[in-house]
Each structure stands twice: as structure tokens, then as C-alpha cells.
Amino acid sequence: MAYQALYRVWRPQTFADVVGQDVITQTLRNAVASNMTSHAYLFSGPRGTGKTSCAKILAKAVNCLNPQEGEPCNECEICQAANENRLNDVIEIDAASNNGVEEIRDIRDKVKYAPTEAKFKVYIIDEVHMLSQGAFNALLKTLEEPPANVMFILATTEPQKIPATIISRTQSFTFRRISRQDILDRMELILNDKQIEFDEEALNIIAASAEGGMRDALSILDQALSFGNDKLTLNNAQEVTGALSNEQIVSYMTAVAENNPADALTSLYNILASGRSAVRFTEMIIRVCRNMILYNSNSDLSDNMDSTIMTQEMLAIANKFDNDRLFYIVDQVSSAQKNLKNSNQTDVYMEILTVKISEPRIQSETPTASSEAAPVDNVQVDRLSDEVAKLKSELKNISANGVAARPAEKAKPKHKAQKVHLNKTAIYNVLGNATKADLSSARDIWPDVMNMLSVTQRAMMKVSEPVAASPDGMVMAFDYPMWFEQAQEDQDLLDSLTADVSKLLKKDYQIVMVPKEQWPVIRKEYIANNIDLDKNNDVKSKPEATKSDKAVDEAVNLFGEDNVDIKND
């Protein structure tokens, strides 16, 4: 038999085997045992946390011929057929490659037929957020009025992209990242079963690299075992994951502690030359700082230190850092991580980071109360007294004669608020082809666009609405200038809006933003430049009307721009 990856061999077959999701598995087990299962479930959470495994176990449990307290027996014909992926009544669908309306309509037509072998026909739709809007609409009717012998299990890593109408018709379960200790226990169980010797520090490195995903942890473990010929050593784990060795991180942090940028850069170059990942490097720096802060706390928190990081060499230099500097290093590393994700010049950012955190920071000196006071200069005091008397005399003359003896000091100009940048060219391009039909289409898809955004982005866009649209773009007006400025500076938000709208309309589309309080002014300027928008929001030429046409301006002021239509005699 061909070799199978560890995550496939050790895939959970019962709810009890699922690691790190006790609340979810207990709930599902009780529902099966009491015959109170729902017609539709939504499993969401990070990758590798057990969503698909729980879906398959649930599909077996509801069809098992001999269930045991909600668990499948894994011995009856139904369970064995499901384990071997030959049970026709359990249908797995990958929504990433079957996301069209026709595929979902095919499901809708087939759910009417009874199961061929089992009690329930179970549809497991993975990555369901990849379905198109039309496919979601086709699925909605089936979820609303499902046949009695059909169950849907939807799995996704991005639940925010699923319409609220779908979520409201399912029982939703959120899978959490698996703790490092649970991942360690599972890997130890596997290695002991395979009778493979291992280094505990190597397992710690793999568990940290997995970032809460059991499947990722087992994949890295599989790779490390292949690299080391069925031996798991610390060096093997470091090479496979790109993690730093203790010698490398101690050398680097020692140079930082001694405020020696030259040595720190040399250590950095050696680390990068060994093939270590810059992202892993920054993660290690943050982990070291976190452990040093716990060590400096001199409390019970120090018991939570990671012993694989805080070696005797690292503890020896920990006293050279105070918490203020450690907080500063964490801030600088966090800022550098954002740049590393969007740049190919990782070496440059790492060099800048190294110089910043290793150079001594100059602290401003503040005088203390015990500092000796400067001697008083009596001559200077007398001169200042004469100047004050002179000023009093001039002020008295001003009050008596109403004439200033000297020029008044000019008032300092008030600080003007920074003017919001408006892309009027893009706005005019939209207005040049704007129609009421395009605006209606934009408003129709806007709820779907909001559902596709993240929670933070959705909160920002709630105070905006489409006010004009053309076949190629739309203008979004914001209720508050502050939100407009934040949205305008959020490139991720702009990219998401453009991509989502283009996806829904199936064409390239431009999003232009404007504060709502400035929208009437901009629209009036556009009208004044020999262009008029009629009551249908369609653009037409207005050659006779100009800025100086007082009759037109008065009509607009009285009746509103939407109710004024200028025609040539």
C-alpha cells in the first residue's frame, strides 16, 4: 500500500478523537444521541482545526446502525463504507471548483430523492464561501424547506463572506485554534505509537510553527521525519521550519543588549545566509521579548516562560533589558512584520530593524528638585523691571488716545484643518456616464458587498451609500468626513471593495469616495460646467446654462437640483 501522510492516517474517526474542540464535539454527540440533529450546520474556523473531520464523523454518526452514545461504531456496513469513501449517500463537494449556479441547482434537484443506503443523505460543502451569489440564492430555498432525510454541513475558513440569510438557517459552530499543548500531546502519541525517538524541543518548534492547526503540525512532523530518516531531532525541526537555533538568537540578542549595531548586523547576515525565514526570525524576537518580560516580572508569571527559549545563555543577558526597552523592541518588530508581508526586499527591512533596536536611545534629561538653583542676576532683574514700566506707560497712552504707540502684534494664524483629498477627476468620470439604472444596480448589490467584507471593514462602510453610478464605477458618500479619511487611506479596504464589486458585476469597476457634506457642492460644480443631470440621473449636455445664469441658480436653490431640467428654446 502506498505511503499515506500522517494527517490522513491519524484523521479522527470519532468525536472523542477530535483534539481541542471539546465543546463542539460534546454538543454534536448529544444531538445525535437524542435524535435532535439539525438539517443544516455551519462549521467555521482556521485551517486544520477539525471542521471537515467533524463533518465526516457527524455524517457517519447520524447514519450508523449501532451508535454508541452519539458516537459512530465504525464497525457496521454504513460506517465502514463511509470510512472508505464509498457511501453514496455522503456527498462531498468542493465549492472552490463547483461554485456555479448550475452545480447548486443540480443538488437542489437531487435532494428530493431518498437515500439509497443510509437514513440521511448528507451533503458536505467545503469552502462554501467560494460560492457565487447566484449559487447562494439557489441554495437558500433548499435550506429553508429541506426534505426530512437530508442534512447539509457547510465548512468555511471565511464566514464573513457568507450571506446572513444562509447563516441564519444553520446551526453555527466556530472552531478555535488548537492549543500548543494539545498539539504536543497528539504528536507525542503518534511518535510513541510509531516507536520513533524524538527531541521535546523539536516538538515545541513544530507546534509553534503550526500556529494552532493540527493538520499543519502533522505535515511539518511528516516532513521532519523524512528529512531525518525517521528520526526527529532539534536540528531537523529547525531546518524544516526555518526556525532559529538557540546559538543564533543568543548571538543576535547579545549584540542588541550591548547596543552594538555592527555585531547585530553581522549576526543578522549569518542568520539570513543560513536560509532562515525573516518572518520566523521576527516571530522569534517577539517570543524572546515576551519571555524576558515574564522573567523580569519577578512573580508567578515567570513560571509561564518557554524553557526551550529561555536557556541559561538567554537568562544571562535578560538582566540587560528593562521592560520599557523590551516593549520598544516589540513595537518595532511588529511594524517591520507588516512591511515584510508586502515586500520582496526583506533583507533591507531586517537591516533597518536591527539598527533601530540595537542603537542606544538618547533619553532627555529632566532636572530634579535637588538640583542647585542658578544664581540670581540682579542687573538683569533691574533691566526687566524698567522694560515692564515702559510697557505700562505705552499701554496707558493707548487707552487715553486710542492710538497704539507701536504696531500691534499680528495674531497667529489659526491652524487650518488638512483638506481632505478628493479625486474629482474620477468623480466627474463617473458622473459623465451616470444613469439611474446603474445607481439602482449598485444599490441592489451593496448588501452583498457588505457581507463579503470583514467585520472591521463592514463597520467602516456602514456610514456610506452609493449616490451615483455609471457602467464603470460608483461614487460612495460618507456621512462623516473622519470615516471618509480613514476609508480613503485604507488600501486593503479599497482593494477589497473593488474586487468584490467587480466580482459581483463581472466586470472591472472603480470605487470613488466623497464626504456626503461635499457631495452637493461637487455635483453643483459639475452642473455649472455646462453639464446637467436630469431627474433620472442621466447626463445630458447643457450648453446654454452657465455659472452666471442667475435664473438657473435661483431655480436650483428653490426647487433642488433633481427637480430642475433646463431645455433650449
Domain boundaries, the chain: 6-174, 180-241, 246-358, 424-563
Which among 182, 135, 251, 194 has a CA at the least distance from the CA of 22?
182
Quick one: pLDDT at residue 399? 55
Quick one: pLDDT at residue 287? 87
pLDDT band at 172 (very low <50, low <70, confident <90, very high): very high
Region of poorest pLDDT, from 168-182, 228-242, 365-379, 465-479: 365-379
Quick one: pLDDT at residue 123? 92
Per-residue CA distances from 311 to 239, 246, 327 (Å): 20, 8, 21
- Compute the chain's Rg from CA coordinates: 34
Position with higher pLDDT, 302 vs 184: 184
Position with higher pLDDT, 366 vs 203: 203
Please tell me the CATH code under which domain 180-241 is placed.
1.10.8.60
Quick one: pLDDT at residue 554? 58
Percent of the chain scoring above 70 in pLDDT: 80
- Does the structure show a pLDDT above 70 at 390? no
Name the DSSP class of 245: P
Of the candidate CATH numbers 3.30.70.270, 3.50.50.60, 3.40.50.300, 3.20.20.540, the domain formed by 6-174 belongs to 3.40.50.300
Percent helix / strand / coil, the chain, rounded to 5: 55, 10, 35
β-strands 531-533, 539-541: how paired? antiparallel
Q: Is 558 exposed, middle or buried (0-12, 13-18, 19+ CB in 10 A)?
A: exposed
pLDDT band at 43 (very low <50, low <70, confident <90, very high): very high
Average pLDDT over residues 36-47: 91
Do 6-174 and 246-358 show the same overall fold? no
Average pLDDT over residues 160-178: 91
Quick one: pLDDT at residue 245? 78
Average pLDDT over residues 49-65: 92
Q: What are 500-531's pLDDT values in tens digits?
A: 888 888 888 888 899 988 888 888 888 777 55
Q: Are 231 and 197 in contact (CB under 8 A)?
A: yes
β-strands 150-156, 171-174: how paired? unpaired
Task: Say which CATH topology domain 424-563 has.
Answer: GMP Synthetase; Chain A, domain 3 (3.30.300)
- Helical packing angle, 234-241 and 200-210, nearest 10°: 20
pLDDT band at 457 (very low <50, low <70, confident <90, very high): confident
Handedness of CA 78, 81, 85, 89 (dihedral sign): negative
- Does the structure show a pLDDT above 60 at 255? yes
Average pLDDT, the chain: 80
- Does the structure show a pLDDT above 50 at 407? no
Kindly state the cell numbers that stand for 229: 530518516
Quick one: pLDDT at residue 374? 46
Q: d(Cα 245, Cα 497) in Å, to the nearest integer?
A: 43
pLDDT band at 385 (very low <50, low <70, confident <90, very high): low
- Does the structure show a pLDDT above 70 at 408? no
Q: Are 523 and 431 in contact (CB under 8 A)?
A: yes
Q: What are 243-254's pLDDT values in tens digits?
A: 777 888 889 999
pLDDT band at 387 (very low <50, low <70, confident <90, very high): low
Quick one: pLDDT at residue 394? 64
Average pLDDT over residues 402-431: 58
69: left (phi over 0), alpha (psi -120 to 50) or beta: left
- Coil, strand, or helix at residue 549? coil
Taking the model in full, what pTM does it have? Answer: 0.57
- Does the structure show a pLDDT above 80 at 92? yes
Handedness of CA 22, 16, 39, 33 (dihedral sign): negative
Percent of the chain scoring above 90 in pLDDT: 21
Average pLDDT over residues 457-472: 84
Of the candidate CATH numbers 3.40.1160.10, 1.20.272.10, 3.10.450.50, 3.40.50.300, the domain formed by 246-358 belongs to 1.20.272.10
